[in-house]
Structure 1
Amino acid sequence: MKFLHTTLLCWALCGTTLATGMAAPAEASPKPRKEYRRGLEAITRRNAEASLRFLASDEMGGRLAGSVEGRIAGQYIRSELEQMGYSQQITEQPFTGRKGEALRNILVKIPGRDTTRQVIVGAHYDHEGRRDGRVFPGADDNASGVTVLLELARAASATRTQPEHTLILAFWDGEERGLQGSRHYVSRLGADTARIDCYINFDMVGRNTDEARPRLFRYFYTSAKPELKTWYAESVKAGGLTEVEADFRPCDRTIGGSDNTPFARAGIPIAWYHTDGHPDYNTPNDTPDRINYPKLLDIARSSWYLIWRMAYVE
């Protein structure tokens, strides 16, 4: 995640509105079904904190793309997904990095009853590795996003039902080296871009940019798809969320340094949960003990509602 570059460019193109965590839902919101509730209950701090602490541990060496630790991070993700029951739905998309590194995206495809429409949800699992002998653990950037995505995989598994539209969970490699994983994926979509209803991105979703407002986060979304804002408001009520306060950033175009960019440039609507910058960004101090876990979990719960609306009932 290249925070400063992303923020300056995105904000220059986006409007800004604020909503508290208790924003009123739209009247047309459907009554949540038991499948949605099962998914919501599957999102837990115990699993989330275990994943984040492992991925951002010193032993993981900062998960540099193409490194041994980067490959271990990918294997850990795959192992977690297999334990959730996704063994037959996991694929790997190998590609070569700009410096000849062997990189791989890890994908879970949950076919819908209607396979002509897709919702893609993604986060990158690489970080900066080591510099001058010091580990850059990347707890917020982006073990936090991977953790949310793993919790969403648990939620989807817990529904015990097939979605109406195909759901793809994507763990990207090589983001810190130029969005390589997501660019590679989008470049091979071709005409399939028309099938994608939305791409939801998680990159840096675990910290506070303003300690006086610990619930605050930035919610970027394609302005041509205003229901994304409505569904966020609905998600707060449906999930009983108390730890999030959205700063809405509607965008006609999204330019910046995260994996939403290739999708937006291909004309695919996006939503991006992002808790913004902090003094520990891209330093050895981006550690698991500084994560705001209640906010991270409510971000996961909010996005689960968006997924439920788009992939399961919409």
Structure 2
Amino acid sequence: MEGKKFNKRKLLNLVIFLVLGAVLLAAVPRWLTALPGVKESATGKVAPSGELAFFHVRKLAAPEFQGRAPGSRGADYAARYIASQLRRSGCRPAGEAGTFFQSLRIPCFTLLKRGLRWKPVVREEEFLLSDNVLAAIGPAEGGSVPQTVIISAHYDHLGAYGPGYFPGANDNASGVAVLLEAARVLTAEEEALPFPVIFAAWTGEEEGMYGSRHFASRFSPERIKAVINLDSLGTGSPVSFLVWTKDRKNRLLPIVEEAAREVGVAVDVRVLSSSSGYNSDHWAFAEDGIPAVTILSPDWLEKNHTFEDIPERIVPSKLENGVRLVVKMVEKLAERER
């Protein structure tokens, strides 16, 4: 009799444990447990998903990534998350030794508050290792393969400070999110691409574009057709984008403007000189004469480099429009190649 009571008690405890586990699992936000579903396009192509892009923003801005400072454990987690998503989309590795990673040295930095924003101050005497994340689709490079199109975004941010950390949701989890979603969409069109496409997530942008400059110094300019860089584009009006270019003669500008009209968004082109107070990773290529642009939000500077750059400020429909714009630009470049 005592044995039966004991078994019943064990069974009851097990049932209670399973019920509590189910309740706790149901209470966990869906974005922490699984990628959101995506809808099929009526045209047979993969449809961009603002919800899926927003999932990536929330993931990269989460506490476990601790602001993604180069060389930190959080940045390492972020690089591996990005690589896993590119692999999941069907991209092939384009980094060193058959991996998705390209390692480089980046100087350490301290943080200094200037006005409302925090700035990294580089310490040139101290260095650490960090990784660019590189993946590719389309024809393999070599021989008579046409020039490569690069779609890029930096994933690094300012890291942690005191008891808190800088989420970097707009700067630049938003750009990485659009890159990842563009990779998913374009991989489905891979057979129709007449050129290789490299998806590059840079490290070290905040300290001085170290990641993009490292890549550019090892990739011949003659092999690059165009660079579409994405930076801080997830806030503000869903249909308004800013475009930075080194000069008005940039051969990529007509492509940007034509693609924008076709997807129903507005682009405001701004010419930035080398003396500009702001810049982004397109510059590492533009200074070598490569057609390159950075796509941003017109209000990209709002909450930039503050603790308030959080996912709640991001507009999922704007991320989706950003993906549409990038994909349409690649399709326009492909049309001119054929």
TM-score, length basis structure 2: 0.73
1:59 to 2:84 alignment: no
Cα distance in 1 between the residues matched to 2:198 and 2:190: 16
- Unaligned stretches of 5+ residues in structure 1: 1-34
1:305 to 2:336 alignment: no
Aligned residue in 2 for 1:5: none
CA contact (8 A) 1:219 1:271 kept: yes
Aligned residue in 2 for 1:147: 177
Per-residue deviation, 1:179: 0.8
Q: 2:259 aligns with which of 235, 241, 255?
A: 235
| Segment drifting more, 163-172 vs 105-114 | 105-114
Per-residue deviation, 1:245: 2.4
Q: 1:225 aligns with which of 239, 250, 254?
A: 250
| Segment drifting more, 255-264 vs 199-208 | 255-264
**What SS does structure 2 have at the residue aligned with 1:296?**
helix
Aligned residue in 2 for 1:180: 210
CA contact (8 A) 1:97 1:103 kept: yes
- Give a deviation string over 1:183-215, Cα, whole Å, max 9, x none: 1011112xx20221211110100112xxxx664
CA contact (8 A) 1:121 1:201 kept: yes
Cα separation, partners in 2 of 1:119 and 1:214, compared to 1, 3 Å: closer
- Give a deviation string over 1:257-286, Cα, whole Å, max 9, x none: 311111111111112111143431111110
**What SS does structure 2 have at the residue aligned with 1:106?**
strand
Per-residue deviation, 1:160: 4.5
* Structure 2 counterpart of 1:139, one-letter code: A
Cα distance in 1 between the residues matched to 2:92 and 2:225: 25
1:259 to 2:281 alignment: yes
| TM-align CA RMSD | 2.4
CA contact (8 A) 1:137 1:286 kept: yes
Cα distance in 1 between the residues matched to 2:275 and 2:322: 21
CA contact (8 A) 2:68 2:159 kept: yes
1:202 to 2:237 alignment: no
* Structure 2 counterpart of 1:146, one-letter code: V
Aligned residue in 1 for 2:268: 247
| Segment drifting more, 156-165 vs 116-125 | 156-165
Per-residue deviation, 1:132: 2.2
* Structure 2 counterpart of 1:97, one-letter code: I
- Unaligned stretches of 5+ residues in structure 2: 1-40, 108-125
* Structure 1 counterpart of 2:82, one-letter code: I
Cα distance in 2 between the residues matched to 1:225 and 1:254: 18
Per-residue deviation, 1:312: 5.9
Cα distance in 1 between the residues matched to 2:312 and 2:70: 24
Cα distance in 2 between the residues matched to 1:85 and 1:254: 40
CA contact (8 A) 1:52 1:288 kept: yes
| Segment drifting more, 149-158 vs 251-260 | 251-260
CA contact (8 A) 1:118 1:311 kept: no
Cα separation, partners in 2 of 1:205 and 1:38, compared to 1, 3 Å: farther
TM-score, length basis structure 1: 0.78
CA contact (8 A) 1:136 1:283 kept: yes
Cα distance in 1 between the residues matched to 2:148 and 2:92: 20
Q: 2:133 aligns with which of 98, 106, 115?
A: 106
| Segment drifting more, 85-94 vs 148-157 | 85-94
The share of aligned pairs that are identical, in percent, is 33
Aligned residues: 268
Aligned residue in 1 for 2:87: 82
Cα distance in 1 between the residues matched to 2:93 and 2:224: 22
Per-residue deviation, 1:254: 8.7
Aligned residue in 2 for 1:91: 100
CA contact (8 A) 2:260 2:325 kept: yes
Rg comparison, structure with higher value: 2
* Structure 1 counterpart of 2:106, one-letter code: G
- Give a deviation string over 1:108-143, Cα, whole Å, max 9, x none: 122438524111111000100111221110000000
* Structure 2 counterpart of 1:265, one-letter code: E
**What SS does structure 2 have at the residue aligned with 1:62?**
helix
Aligned residue in 1 for 2:111: none
Cα distance in 1 between the residues matched to 2:79 and 2:290: 26
* Structure 2 counterpart of 1:248, one-letter code: V
**What SS does structure 1 have at the residue aligned with 2:321?**
helix
Structure number with greater CO (CA < 8 Å, separation at least 6) is 1
* Structure 2 counterpart of 1:77, one-letter code: I
